[in-house]
Amino acid sequence: MNLSDLPLSPTSAQPSAQPSAHDLLALAAQWQREQRAFAMVTVLRTSAPTAAKPGDKALVVADGTLHGWIGGGCAHGAVLKSAQQALADGVPRVIRVQPDVPDADELTQFNSTCPSGGSTELFVEPYLPAAQLVVLGDSPVAQALAALSPHIDLAVTPVAADASRLPQGGWCVVATQGQGDAAALRTALASGARHIWLVASARKAMVLKRGLIADGLSADAVHAITAPAGLDIGARTPAEVALSILAAVVQARRAAPPPEQAIATDFVAVSAVKQGVTAGFGTQAAAAPAARSCCAG
């Protein structure tokens, strides 16, 4: 079955014309391999009369295109809005679409104007590309970073040293360690990285920063470079240094807001300037929002 030939709007097709759950899961797996952001929407429960049934599914991308079946037009707008919000903040949510909701908050509860009077509860789960990490250098630390990154859901792909080809707005580690340090720092700064770590001693970093500022680079951007890179865990070996750097990257990622320029473009690339290393990719897991409980404590 060619999913691209199927009707994209649930209001213009009957359930029998929609892709099966197997087709949707295959499409979701393909989009994950392609590092494409999407939300999977699953019908949890319904109150008749509704066209959707529990277990019905749909995939929604950021532009509002919908593949699958989650009921008629009454739920369509609420699903698209919630899916786009989930892609923006990375948080899954349960939404309810029903008539005459007294405390509708436009985030989890939506009023339905359908004359049928039915209600639908749906689970909206975002699947986002993994976070961006660019590593410049082919030192032992750079190679250790490439090996360890997939274990914390950082997708690894080789990227050329040319700043114009580096991902924009990602996290960056300069691990050249004496092999073109200043040039790599210029490349990192030109890429518009959200944060740059330099694998070097504080004294060496100070000398490199002074040289960059003397060459006319922004003093604020240069001073924002963190060196030595990583959290202080007493690391000695390249793998331990890489671990300390990844801990700092995780700390920065969790504390930072999502990029403003696009929904879910948090790709990861680990790059070696002289030696590219390719590994697998992962998906970013978002914590579920807190819910009320009837249990004491």
Tell me: cis bond preceding 259? Omega within 30 of 0 counts: no
Tell me 163's DSSP state: G
Position 291 confidence tier, pLDDT thresholds 50, 70, 90: very low
Mean pLDDT of the chain: 75
Give me 63's structure tokens.
């532009």
Give me 230's structure tokens.
């990583």
Question: Residue 201 and residue 194: Cα distance in Å, rounded?
Answer: 22
Q: Which CATH superfamily is domain 133-284 in?
A: NAD(P)-binding Rossmann-like Domain (3.40.50.720)
Question: Residue 146 and residue 134: Cα distance in Å, rounded?
Answer: 10
Question: Residue 33 and residue 127: Cα distance in Å, rounded?
Answer: 11
194-233 pLDDT, tens digit per residue, is: 899 999 999 999 999 999 999 999 999 999 999 999 999 9
The residue type at 92: P
pTM over 0.85: no
Question: Residue 276 and residue 281: Cα distance in Å, rounded?
Answer: 15
pLDDT at 161: 52
Give me 164's structure tokens.
């114009």
55-77 pLDDT, tens digit per residue, is: 999 999 988 889 998 887 778 88
First to last CA, the chain: 50
